[in-house]
């Protein structure tokens, strides 16, 4: 066994003394130690080049080869400004050619740009971003990496219908784009025509920006999420985007709203207007935020991960008027995992106090990954996908404070898992409050964390995400029981609930939860807040009898606030129906909450009957009020301004 020559930077949990840390949960720790004897560990990477996965059969240009560069594996491409632009262009084009239509493939990529400028006004760098592709700058500020060109997502066309409604699982972050699109015709400017799980973070875009690909029709889109970003030199075109949340950003303007456009802490946001022709839900400040950790290189070329500090009542970006508040972790403190690494090996590294980088690929886990210590950072590159193989959770977070997860997908496995990700100890054991005071100043967070049941492969999970940690910040989560793809059917990709919140003071920005078979969200914790909620009820209940909350109550509410909750706030929350089995399926309510909540706890609620090819509908918006959305009023929001 290789001996570690570094010490964890964090202190152990306050359950046992530090000297006794390795004796907490002795059987588990012993099993991890035994497993770790079989494979050597190192902080800089776990596998030799011979054991790394291939790039999916695509011929790519040579990657940069700095001796100090961490071993991120073959599917992470790191560019620097000294490379010929033609070489960079060929590489990103090859990735896009493979990934633009690769919705349920296993290939994953990260395209990382070292500080400097790429492209020019006469020879720009323009490329598309496909599925499971991360594009990010490696500067400490977005201004450190400049692309003269565009980084685009366009409609996909099927049988003559061109839409963005399936453009999922991709991201763009931490760089500046000076939009330069000569001779592009209609495609002038930055196009980011996406739907769920495709965030824009920490970007500065100078020039025209559109969230709709209006060059081909009908251009339907169902996004989306922007945070910590600035747009100058042109109004952002919302276009056909049915819903969108923009948080802590700066806008020159915003064109329109469709159903549910939400702005929180955004300078230049449209004024509050709901319901109206362009409906906007606008909050002047964001109550509490913590931006996503990100990889960067310092002035000496050393790799680090920056961990932004918590912000309260914030407006605008974290970087616009100086350095982002927070702290750096050197790359040597991270275990860099490859998809070929076993869960036991990764757990051994976590046990020894390493943070974790998951490189691109699919991780088949025969046991849960266990995060035992506060302030552990788990950073995904290229949408690493975790799949439990034995009905186990993919990950359990035991620590209460400072644990940050970002940029990953949790897929359900072939055997039913009770939960895919559990954050915090079991509330049934009265352990929810452990670390509560510390987590006020050092909250845990989930950023760009996505869940999927079916679609890519058959899978089952009772609940996708359970939150037992107080003060947790949810920042862009999409939990999706697949409505298309592989292993899809009422009795095949089974999943009761997307999210259960058991802890107090949890806040969510950008909560997308779709197609689960019972309550899609259950909120049991007091003093919770949800800013933006998007939901589609399950398409496929085979009969009304198969989809009943209780005798005499049709269907299941999309969002259930438990009867014992005394304080909860919600803003910009929508639920839609499209029951497509040719059976008249009804849901009594989209939202169920205690009627004893303080006045105006819920704001700007709506339901939609999506298509006349569907049946049934939603009878009430919330608690028997608000009217129905059925075939009698298709594609028309039924709204409640505030409740109770």
| Residues acting as catalytic residues | 536
CA–CA gap between residue 332 and residue 70 (Å, rounded): 9
Is residue 119 within 8 A of residue 147, CB to CB? The reply is: yes
Q: How far apart are alpha carbons 332 and 475 in whole angstroms?
A: 27
DSSP string, 168-218: -SEEEEEEEEEE--TT-TT--SEEB---SS--EEEEEEES-EESS-TTSSB
Task: Let me know if 22 is exposed, middle or buried by CB neighbors in 10 A (0-12, 13-18, 19+).
Answer: middle
| Beta-strand pair 417-423/473-481 | unpaired
Write out the DSSP string of 540-568: --S-STTSEEETTEEB--SEEE-TT---E
Distance CA 524, CA 39 (A): 42
User: What's the CA gap between 399 and 373, in Å, rounded?
Assistant: 5
Partner residues linked to 282 by β-bridges: 263
3-state secondary structure of 359: coil
Give whole-number Cα distances, 547 to 519, 543, 579, 589, in Å: 11, 7, 12, 13
The 3-class SS string of 66-86 reads CCCCCCCCCCEEEECCCCCHH
Task: Specify burial of residue 269 (Cβ count, 10 A radius: 0-12, 13-18, 19+).
Answer: buried
């Amino acid at each position: 066994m290789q001996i570690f020559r570094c010490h964890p930077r964090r202190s152990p949990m306050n359950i046992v003394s530090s000297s006794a840390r390795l004796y907490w949960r002795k059987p588990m720790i012993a099993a991890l130690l035994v497993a770790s004897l079989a494979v050597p560990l190192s902080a800089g990477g776990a596998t030799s080049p011979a054991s790394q996965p291939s790039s999916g059969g695509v011929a790519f240009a040579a990657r940069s080869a700095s001796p100090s560069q961490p071993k991120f594996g073959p599917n992470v491409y790191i560019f620097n400004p000294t490379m010929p632009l033609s070489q960079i262009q060929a590489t990103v084009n090859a990735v896009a050619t493979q990934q633009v239509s690769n919705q349920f493939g296993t290939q994953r990529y990260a395209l990382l740009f070292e500080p400097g400028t790429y492209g020019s006004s006469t020879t720009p760098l323009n490329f598309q971003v496909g599925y499971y592709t991360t594009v990010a700058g490696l500067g400490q500020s977005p201004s450190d990496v400049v692309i003269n060109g565009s980084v685009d997502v366009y409609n996909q066309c099927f049988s003559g219908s061109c839409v963005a409604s399936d453009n999922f699982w991709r991201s763009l972050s931490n760089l500046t784009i000076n939009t330069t699109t000569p001779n592009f015709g209609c495609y002038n400017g930055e196009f980011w025509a996406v739907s769920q799980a495709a965030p824009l973070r920490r970007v500065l875009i100078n020039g025209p920006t559109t969230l709709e690909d209006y060059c081909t029709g009908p251009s339907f889109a169902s996004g989306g999420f922007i945070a910590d970003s600035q747009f100058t030199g042109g109004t952002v075109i919302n276009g056909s985007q049915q819903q969108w949340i923009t948080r802590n950003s700066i806008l020159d303007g915003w064109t329109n709203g469709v159903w549910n456009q939400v702005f929180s802490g955004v300078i230049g946001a449209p004024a509050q207007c709901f319901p109206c022709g362009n409906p906007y839900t606008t909050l002047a400040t964001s109550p509490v935020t913590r931006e996503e950790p990100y990889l960067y290189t310092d002035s000496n070329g050393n790799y680090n991960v920056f961990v932004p500090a918590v912000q309260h009542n914030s407006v605008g970006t974290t970087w616009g008027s100086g350095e982002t508040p927070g702290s750096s972790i050197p790359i040597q403190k991270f275990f860099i995992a490859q998809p070929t690494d076993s869960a036991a090996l990764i757990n051994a590294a976590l046990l020894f106090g390493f943070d974790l980088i998951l490189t691109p690929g699919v991780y088949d886990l025969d046991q849960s990954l266990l995060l035992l210590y506060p302030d552990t950072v788990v950073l995904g590159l290229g949408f690493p996908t975790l799949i439990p193989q034995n009905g186990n959770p993919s990950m359990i977070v035991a620590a209460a404070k400072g644990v940050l997860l970002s940029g990953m997908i949790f897929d359900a496995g072939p055997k039913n898992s009770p939960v895919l990700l559990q954050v915090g100890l079991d509330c049934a054991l009265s352990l929810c409050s452990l670390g509560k005071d510390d987590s006020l100043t050092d909250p845990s967070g989930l950023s760009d964390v996505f869940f999927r049941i079916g679609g890519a492969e058959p899978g089952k999970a009772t609940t996708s995400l359970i939150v037992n940690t107080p003060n947790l910040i949810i920042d862009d989560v999409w939990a999706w029981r697949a409505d298309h793809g592989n292993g899809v059917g009422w009795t095949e990709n089974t999943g009761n609930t997307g999210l259960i919140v058991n802890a107090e003071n949890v806040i969510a920005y950008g909560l997308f939860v779709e197609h689960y078979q019972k309550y899609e969200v259950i909120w049991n914790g007091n003093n919770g807040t949800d800013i933006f909620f998007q939901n589609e009820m399950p398409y496929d209940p085979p009969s009304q009898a198969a989809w009943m909350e209780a005798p005499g109550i049709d269907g299941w509410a999309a969002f259930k606030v438990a009867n014992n909750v005394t304080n909860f706030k919600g803003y910009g929350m929508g639920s839609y129906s499209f029951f497509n089995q040719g059976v008249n399926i009804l849901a009594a309510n989209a939202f169920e909450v205690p009627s004893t909540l303080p006045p105006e706890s819920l704001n700007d609620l709506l339901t939609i009957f999506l298509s006349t090819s569907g049946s049934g509908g939603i009878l009430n918006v919330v608690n028997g009020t608000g009217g129905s959305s059925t075939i009698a009023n298709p594609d028309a929001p039924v709204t409640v301004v505030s409740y109770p």
